[in-house]
Structure 1
């Protein structure tokens, strides 16, 4: 081809001009290194594959650490699939998406009549995962009281359903994950150190997409091949899209990459251009790079957190998804925090500006 662009399956491979060059360029996409459903040829991913292969056959608890969107749940599933309990249940719970009032029932279950609305006995995640793997995502979002109860189960393999008089015994492998630095979480009091050491028998770090170099184009091509196969199409990336794949920082990691490719695929007639999707995601995030949040010494930690969240939300142009990615928390956690701030504001306004008593309304 005169422009130095060769086609491999449904994707364009820049720079492959001879047959040998084309074969070398396409081999990456036809036979990428993988571990289960995890794909990658970069050094960080090869190291991740080695760690998974070492720990999967054992019964050790695992703590997966990585930014939002890096694929921590997929890592947990691969560990389960490569374990001796692969034919048993894999149960996942996002601790940040469950309210503190309900998480105990989600984990341990409850007996009929133990509280209003409990019309039948319900098994919790531990019981449903008996013999298999329980994946606890965003474990640092769990309250400290609940962390104590979780620690006891990890130590004894026993727990009480809510309202039960007898203990239930299970054999469950726990794989936990967090998008926070565990050491910082312990330092600020959001993660108990004894729970950390119980969970992190074998810690695993999942690399960010920007650390994976050549994997970015590989994953983008795999996603495009997936969309093409679903719809029977043969769409391909533009040369400008290939350049942008490696130039962009991908703050949302693999999740953001897949969303950008999917959006470009939907909009494309034949040739995909990912730039509009990336440009819209960068709105507000790059225009204020020099801004900072100043917190007065002696401020409460909760107040400092609120200032940071609100400032980041404005920094991201009101985009809550991007805000959550920048802060390294789940979208559910962000919404919970914003709802708390809104409730406090409403209460403050109600106290500061009480409504007059309306006798006519009462009568």
Structure 2
């Protein structure tokens, strides 16, 4: 049985929360002031502290500075309203989540169901750091370069909290793997992790897929459908290519992030959800805001904890580790281990990899299949891939656009010209444009191609 300490000066609120906590199998103690809270924690270390900010003898945040008392307790702030400032404040002071008054029984139940002492989470991070030294892996990620170590440090810092994370980086840099690692190190790891590529779902269906719909809400809706927010309840929802959402849908996403509620398509009944959102974009977030692809207010709400993913060309020292990792995976799956020769590694290192780690994996997969022995040489590594950057870039065609051309037309002309330049190789076209392959296919479908 876990033990909860409720630090709340309002007797009725404290009594109500104590009853809710007790109904979920926790013993509960209450404190009406900071002094009383210190006394209670000295007598019994709580597993979780529900901490009101406004107390008669000071601000509740003062307790978070007393690590000898509260350092091994999960802290949940209790506040009168949800805001971006609350999220940032919770992260800065080490709180893992926050509750909004009046306290939702469903939200409190979700928090209690995943109570984990900070020392347990710290031990898991330490274990991953040991793995990094031994196997060059950190969770789902591979690499020991300085740029990746900065990413690992940020993951370790944010995973134990509930704040929203925004991942920015080129296509193929491993943003979903970061999201999965954040989930696996969080208190939500026993709950679902769902990944949604917002650019791969038809604009006509994406709202229904994310928020769900009621039976009969539109033609073809023959039964009720639960969206990703409901299916991910208690867990983590990864929204990839979030800038591909329409402005109208971005407004609804903002509402969920701020209020924790949404409505299914065709319904007027609000649904509560407790989901940690990790969003990602392969565009520069500031440019996406300036161009109107991302609402400024949604950007501020998503950008509570930004993580920038380095492209593969900025972590070249990780290339041999990635090659070894992918070939080991392929060998275990296919039943025949193969390795890259020094000549193959040298040729791979000559390329800038616009498609990043994803493109590297695909190139190795082809070479693995075509190699009959156990040594992968440079024979089956694509020649055009290896020749590209400096020399080829100077030979690329130029595209002239008249001032005043609609942006949709500019985008179409750039996509088609790039596709033509790369000989209709869609994967290389998508990599050069900085979009996912699914997004490219969607655009070509719109153009009737």
Q: TM-score, normalised by structure 1?
A: 0.82
Per-residue deviation, residues 30-65 of structure 1 (Å, max 9, x unmatched): 923332111111000000000100010000000000
Counterpart for residue 332 of structure 1: 438
Deviation at 1:340, TM superposition (A): 2.5
Counterpart for residue 14 of structure 1: none
Per-residue deviation, residues 163-186 of structure 1 (Å, max 9, x unmatched): 223110011110000100111111
If asked which structure has higher relative contact order (CA below 8 Å, sep 6+), I would say: 1
Give 2:174's match in structure 1, choosing from 71, 80, 88: 71
1:1-363 counterparts in 2 under 5 A?
A: 31-270=134-373, 271-274=375-378, 276-281=380-385, 287=392, 289-290=394-395, 291-342=397-448
The RMSD of aligned alpha carbons is 2.0
- 1: CA distance, partners of 2:357 / 2:201: 24
Instruction: Report if aligned partners of 1:89, 1:129 keep a CA contact under 8 Å in 2.
Output: yes
- Any stretches of 5+ residues in structure 2 without a counterpart? 1-130
Assess, with a 3 A threshold, how the Cα gap between structure 1 residues 80 and 339 changes in structure 2: closer, same or farther: same
Aligned length: 316
Q: TM-score, normalised by structure 2?
A: 0.67
Deviation at 1:287, TM superposition (A): 4.5
- 2: CA distance, partners of 1:325 / 1:226: 23
- 2: CA distance, partners of 1:335 / 1:71: 21
Instruction: Report if aligned partners of 1:261, 1:274 keep a CA contact under 8 Å in 2.
Output: no
Instruction: Report if aligned partners of 1:138, 1:178 keep a CA contact under 8 Å in 2.
Output: yes
- Any stretches of 5+ residues in structure 1 without a counterpart? 1-27, 344-363
Deviation at 1:245, TM superposition (A): 2.3
- 2: CA distance, partners of 1:215 / 1:275: 22
Please state whether the residue corresponding to 1:175 is helix, strand or coil. strand
Please state whether the residue corresponding to 1:198 is helix, strand or coil. helix
Counterpart for residue 15 of structure 1: none
Instruction: Report if aligned partners of 1:136, 1:174 keep a CA contact under 8 Å in 2.
Output: yes
Instruction: Report if aligned partners of 2:350, 2:386 keep a CA contact under 8 Å in 1.
Output: no
Assess, with a 3 A threshold, how the Cα gap between structure 1 residues 108 and 155 changes in structure 2: closer, same or farther: same
Per mean C-alpha deviation after superposition, the further-off stretch among 205-214 and 230-239 is: 230-239
Deviation at 1:210, TM superposition (A): 1.0
Per-residue deviation, residues 70-100 of structure 1 (Å, max 9, x unmatched): 1111110000000111101111111001111
Instruction: Report if aligned partners of 1:114, 1:162 keep a CA contact under 8 Å in 2.
Output: yes
